[in-house]
A and B are shown apart, each in its own frame.
Chain A
């Protein structure tokens, strides 16, 4: 009996202590990113330039959605999330997650995130109210959900009357192909490609832009990492902007980028054409008074989680 009690107490004690174990000395930096979501800094990732710039090894881990990135950051497994969608970030900050927004990865139109209706269903922008009562696949809690909600407002359909199925983009595309859903909202080049093979975009890129639908992907870091290693955050942001500059001037190594995003070069170029990589100046403006700040205000995001001090 004594032995049992002491064992139980020991386990409880260990459980109480283990929370303090974290990435205290920053012997490596762990970064989250997306596949099928190309960006110029993937070239630097490919050439290990981040490890050189930060002075410690940088470990890149790919995720399927931004919500999972937040989970990993909260669990202490990820320090920096590159190109996390703004929606997952907002949800996380609203849930009081200790993370901060330090940079904008890119702004994009509906090119990279979109809703596709199947051709079989015959539903287009004109008769979109027919979506009501039918099944649509939406990756809830991500930027695609935002695009979905906004698109429905534009085409005048009531999302509450639809059967919304929570699916990641890859599965959503498969469900659209098999005819299980009449519309799938998705992001990522390959998923959109396989979806548009059997369907059409509900709104074209231009229509979406005219409707004011725009996506923003951001760079978020855990507060602990930001406070303890400001130098590394700064180097990370700087190198990212260097890469963006290189891309703007047309000197990026597209092969390396395609390899790291696991896309074909042509598909990648197509996806990239919808992205806008901001200059440091534009980023600052967007964060202070432009698109990003409007977006955050629109969703009642708690203030004080955005910082511009790491921008070059």
Chain B
């Protein structure tokens, strides 16, 4: 319902905004020439068009539009899918969707294979006698093929069986177009509808939201029932057909004789004639494949093919409007049936519907659910003492004079000054509690933030130093230049084995990423300072520190802040991959685990979260840039 309304809203938003935009262009007196940035200003209506277009695409390709306007189509298409599934094997035999008859293709392929073996035998240095025997085997195998394809040899019984099956399909096609097919009794209908209602409706995939079924498979409509009944019958026909073997007595004799000859020949061979034996075995294999394949005379299956084509025609006609729904509202894929269930295969599978995704997102935001018992983002109460314990090093207690308490004979432990200090520095006491954020998103955020800050704190001074000092430049340059071009992910496996899978390893990896970028940008900023400004400051009596603080640093700020922006983006990219490798928390971890259980909704949620967080970082930095260096791009 909501999806339906939204679809119209987006559609009319696009149309309205496009019309408005065109009107604006006509009424506006544009005196700005092409290339003037003024021309790109404003245009909220185009933003609306852009986002509406994106959302519309999402609704369309996730098949949500189909779901809201034709909620029963999935169930009906499931029945059509059953028919297609039952016809799959039969159709494959004929040039309906293929280029060739399957028999033709098999004969071609196997003749080719036989010729290859023949060539190999001729080129090998076997004894002539063996060669001749093998070649005679090949000849005999080849000669079994005409026995299968000769119309006159086709046994009447086989012929009749095929005709009966073809007739069955013809009858089915005829009945199929009747409106009361398959003559369901009132009781059966009641029962079916009851069962179908129990089964539920088209909903989210069961992999991510429990107790839902993706596509209900019991037919809900008359049309669906028709297809299901036909599918059942076709399955029987198909099974019967594939049991038919075109093994007439002549072929049977020839094949049995051949296989016996080859077997005898192989058993007479010495162990030294391994090559001959394997050649003979290969030939026998081909003969067996020919035996197993359903090879028929070229005209034996004409009836069968016609009946299938006829049925296809009828069933396409019977689909009626459903066919158009399938083509236009189920882009790049459709509902297919396989075995006991129907499922979405195509974009509807990996692009979950916006409504399902939102549901799942709301569910995951619930701190009690989260993902793997860890909330996405929430808070927990933490005692301030833990922070004190984290900051103060534990060895403070160790270096105090005295010994730690030992238990006495009564089994009691009396604490002394030293043990009290120890519990203070390890944070083992109670103060007051403050809320601390926690959860997957927070963990990822914190990792990026720490890596970035560490990179800035070390990278910026080092970069400035390198830009100003010959020694620093020469000394650090080889190191930086060697490690900078390495893609950060190349370090990931190494760092994880050396520094462990904890936060430290990941933060260090991000630090490495941001460090090189910060150094490069700070250095470029420092060496790009105009000499005249430095001279001016110097002649006014500025000290070295004052020149650095008031001239060089502000001058390199634009470069540094741009560097931070670039580094943030790189850190996000690296973080997700690092969390893929090993982790217990983090957005990348969530995505990686979700993939293992085919939870596409969750995957898209993580992608969305990462996009949003990246955007948040970027906007923050942009604000900082606007605040701190308002002169950028103005001189």
Interface residues of chain A, those whose CB is within 8 Å of chain B, are 12, 15-19, 24-25, 52-53, 55-56, 67, 91-92, 94-98, 100, 135, 137, 140-141, 160, 163-167, 171, 174-175, 178, 180-181, 223-224, 227-228, 230-231, 234-235, 302-305
Q: Which residues of chain A have C-beta atoms less than 8 A from B88's C-beta?
A: 224, 227-228
Query: Does B339 touch A at the CB level, under 8 Å?
Result: yes
Q: Which residues of chain B have C-beta atoms less than 8 A from A52's C-beta?
A: 282, 285
Beyond A55-B109, A228-B89, is A164–B346 a contact (Cβ under 8 Å)?
Answer: no
Are A96 and B293 closer than 8 Å at their CB atoms?
no
Which residue in B214, B339, B372 is a CB contact (below 8 Å) of A304?
B339
B489-502 to A contact mask, C-beta < 8 Å, 1/0 = 00000001100111
Q: Which residues of chain B have C-beta atoms less than 8 A from A304's C-beta?
A: 339-340
Q: Which residues of chain A have C-beta atoms less than 8 A from B583's C-beta?
A: 165-166
Q: Which residues of chain A have C-beta atoms less than 8 A from B500's C-beta?
A: 175, 178, 180
Q: Which residues of chain B have C-beta atoms less than 8 A from A160's C-beta?
A: 373
Q: Which residues of chain B have C-beta atoms less than 8 A from A96's C-beta?
A: 205-206, 214, 338, 341-343
Query: Does B468 touch A at the CB level, under 8 Å?
Result: no
Q: Which of B332-374 contact A (CB under 8 A)?
A: 332-333, 336, 338-343, 345-346, 372-373
**Can you list 27 residue pairs at the A/B interface with Cβ under 8 Å?**
A15-B331, A25-B98, A52-B282, A55-B109, A55-B113, A67-B595, A91-B596, A92-B598, A95-B205, A95-B597, A96-B342, A97-B343, A135-B501, A135-B584, A140-B596, A164-B372, A167-B582, A171-B496, A171-B582, A180-B502, A227-B85, A227-B89, A231-B289, A302-B339, A302-B341, A304-B340, A305-B339
- The chain B residue sitting closest to A234, CB to CB, is B292
Q: Which residues of chain B have C-beta atoms less than 8 A from A235's C-beta?
A: 289, 292
Query: Does B394 touch A at the CB level, under 8 Å?
Result: no
A91, A96, A171, A304 interface centre (most CB from chain B within 10 Å): A96
Query: Does B242 touch A at the CB level, under 8 Å?
Result: yes
Q: Which of B194-250 contact A (CB under 8 A)?
A: 205-207, 214, 242
Query: Does B286 touch A at the CB level, under 8 Å?
Result: yes
Are A166 and B593 closer than 8 Å at their CB atoms?
yes
The 8 closest A-B pairs by CB, nearest first: A96-B343, A98-B338, A304-B340, A141-B596, A95-B598, A227-B88, A304-B339, A95-B207
Are A164 and B584 closer than 8 Å at their CB atoms?
yes
Q: Which residues of chain B have C-beta atoms less than 8 A from A141's C-beta?
A: 596-597
Beyond A95-B597, A166-B592, A175-B501, is A230–B89 a contact (Cβ under 8 Å)?
Answer: yes
Query: Does B387 touch A at the CB level, under 8 Å?
Result: no
Query: Does B97 touch A at the CB level, under 8 Å?
Result: yes
Q: Which residues of chain B have C-beta atoms less than 8 A from A12's C-beta?
A: 331
Are A91 and B597 closer than 8 Å at their CB atoms?
yes
- The chain B residue sitting closest to A163, CB to CB, is B584
Are A140 and B593 closer than 8 Å at their CB atoms?
yes
Query: Does B110 touch A at the CB level, under 8 Å?
Result: yes
Are B596 and A67 closer than 8 Å at their CB atoms?
yes
B109, B289, B502 interface centre (most CB from chain A within 10 Å): B289
Are B345 and A16 closer than 8 Å at their CB atoms?
no
4 further contact pairs, Cβ within 8 A, besides A53-B289, A94-B207, A231-B292: A163-B584, A180-B502, A228-B88, A228-B92
Query: Does B581 touch A at the CB level, under 8 Å?
Result: yes
> What is the CA–CA distance of A223 and B84 in the complex, to the nearest angstrom?
12
- A235 CB to closest chain B CB (Å) equals 7
B84-102 to A contact mask, C-beta < 8 Å, 1/0 = 0100110010000111000
Which residue in B89, B343, B582 is a CB contact (below 8 Å) of A98?
B343
- The chain A residue sitting closest to B346, CB to CB, is A19
- B343 CB to closest chain A CB (Å) equals 3
Q: Which residues of chain B have C-beta atoms less than 8 A from A227's C-beta?
A: 85, 88-89, 92
- B118 CB to closest chain A CB (Å) equals 14
- A202 CB to closest chain B CB (Å) equals 20
B585-602 to A contact mask, C-beta < 8 Å, 1/0 = 000010011011110000
Q: How many A-B residue pairs have CB under 8 A?
A: 118
- The chain B residue sitting closest to A307, CB to CB, is B339
- B265 CB to closest chain A CB (Å) equals 18
**DSSP class of B's interface residues: helix, strand, loop or mixed?**
mixed
- A187 CB to closest chain B CB (Å) equals 15
Q: Which residues of chain A have C-beta atoms less than 8 A from B113's C-beta?
A: 55
- The chain A residue sitting closest to B342, CB to CB, is A96
Q: Which residues of chain A have C-beta atoms less than 8 A from B109's C-beta?
A: 55-56
> What is the CA–CA distance of A67 and B595 in the complex, to the nearest angstrom?
9
Q: Which residues of chain B have C-beta atoms less than 8 A from A92's C-beta?
A: 598
Q: Which residues of chain B have C-beta atoms less than 8 A from A137's C-beta?
A: 582
Are A180 and B336 closer than 8 Å at their CB atoms?
no
Q: Which residues of chain B have C-beta atoms less than 8 A from A178's C-beta?
A: 497, 500
Query: Does B105 touch A at the CB level, under 8 Å?
Result: yes
Q: Which of B447-506 contact A (CB under 8 A)?
A: 496-497, 500-502
Which residue in B105, B205, B336 is a CB contact (below 8 Å) of A25?
B105
> What is the CA–CA distance of A212 and B110 in the complex, to the nearest angstrom?
47
Are A94 and B206 closer than 8 Å at their CB atoms?
yes
- The chain B residue sitting closest to A71, CB to CB, is B595
Q: Which residues of chain B have C-beta atoms less than 8 A from A166's C-beta?
A: 582-583, 589, 592-593, 596
Beyond A94-B207, A165-B501, is A303–B340 a contact (Cβ under 8 Å)?
Answer: yes
Q: Which residues of chain A have C-beta atoms less than 8 A from B289's C-beta?
A: 53, 55, 231, 235
Are A302 and B340 closer than 8 Å at their CB atoms?
yes
> What is the CA–CA distance of A15 and B351 in the complex, to the nearest angstrom?
14
- B87 CB to closest chain A CB (Å) equals 9
- The chain A residue sitting closest to B500, CB to CB, is A180
Which residue in B105, B345, B497 is a CB contact (below 8 Å) of A174?
B497
Q: Which residues of chain A have C-beta atoms less than 8 A from B593's C-beta?
A: 140, 166
- B585 CB to closest chain A CB (Å) equals 9
- The chain B residue sitting closest to A88, CB to CB, is B596
Q: Which residues of chain A have C-beta atoms less than 8 A from B286's C-beta?
A: 55
Q: Which residues of chain A have C-beta atoms less than 8 A from B206's C-beta?
A: 94-96
- B270 CB to closest chain A CB (Å) equals 17
A19, A55, A92, A160 interface centre (most CB from chain B within 10 Å): A55
- B530 CB to closest chain A CB (Å) equals 43
Q: Which residues of chain A have C-beta atoms less than 8 A from B342's C-beta?
A: 96
- A297 CB to closest chain B CB (Å) equals 14
Q: Which residues of chain B have C-beta atoms less than 8 A from A181's C-beta?
A: 501
Q: Which residues of chain A have C-beta atoms less than 8 A from B205's C-beta?
A: 95-96
B60-97 to A contact mask, C-beta < 8 Å, 1/0 = 00000000000000000000000001001100100001
Are A91 and B582 closer than 8 Å at their CB atoms?
no
- B277 CB to closest chain A CB (Å) equals 13
> What is the CA–CA distance of A137 and B582 in the complex, to the nearest angstrom?
9
Q: Which residues of chain A have C-beta atoms less than 8 A from B595's C-beta?
A: 67
- The chain B residue sitting closest to A224, CB to CB, is B88
Q: Which residues of chain B have C-beta atoms less than 8 A from A305's C-beta?
A: 339-340
Q: Which residues of chain A have C-beta atoms less than 8 A from B597's C-beta?
A: 91, 95, 141
- B337 CB to closest chain A CB (Å) equals 9
Q: Which residues of chain A have C-beta atoms less than 8 A from B99's C-beta?
A: 25
Which residue in B98, B110, B242, B336 is a CB contact (below 8 Å) of A55?
B110
Are A180 and B332 closer than 8 Å at their CB atoms?
no
Q: Which residues of chain A have C-beta atoms less than 8 A from B92's C-beta?
A: 227-228
Q: Which residues of chain B have C-beta atoms less than 8 A from A135's C-beta?
A: 501, 584
Are A100 and B339 closer than 8 Å at their CB atoms?
yes
- A81 CB to closest chain B CB (Å) equals 16
Q: Which residues of chain A have C-beta atoms less than 8 A from B341's C-beta?
A: 96, 302
Are B339 and A171 closer than 8 Å at their CB atoms?
no
Which residue in B105, B292, B293, B582 is a CB contact (below 8 Å) of A175?
B582
> What is the CA–CA distance of A55 and B109 in the complex, to the nearest angstrom?
7
> What is the CA–CA distance of A180 and B500 in the complex, to the nearest angstrom?
6
Q: Which residues of chain B have C-beta atoms less than 8 A from A56's C-beta?
A: 109
Which residue in A24, A97, A174 is a CB contact (below 8 Å) of B97?
A24
- B73 CB to closest chain A CB (Å) equals 17
> What is the CA–CA distance of A55 and B291 in the complex, to the nearest angstrom?
13
Q: Which of B500-542 contact A (CB under 8 A)?
A: 500-502
> What is the CA–CA distance of A178 and B498 in the complex, to the nearest angstrom?
8
- B202 CB to closest chain A CB (Å) equals 13
Beyond A52-B282, A95-B597, is A231–B582 a contact (Cβ under 8 Å)?
Answer: no
Are B340 and A98 closer than 8 Å at their CB atoms?
no
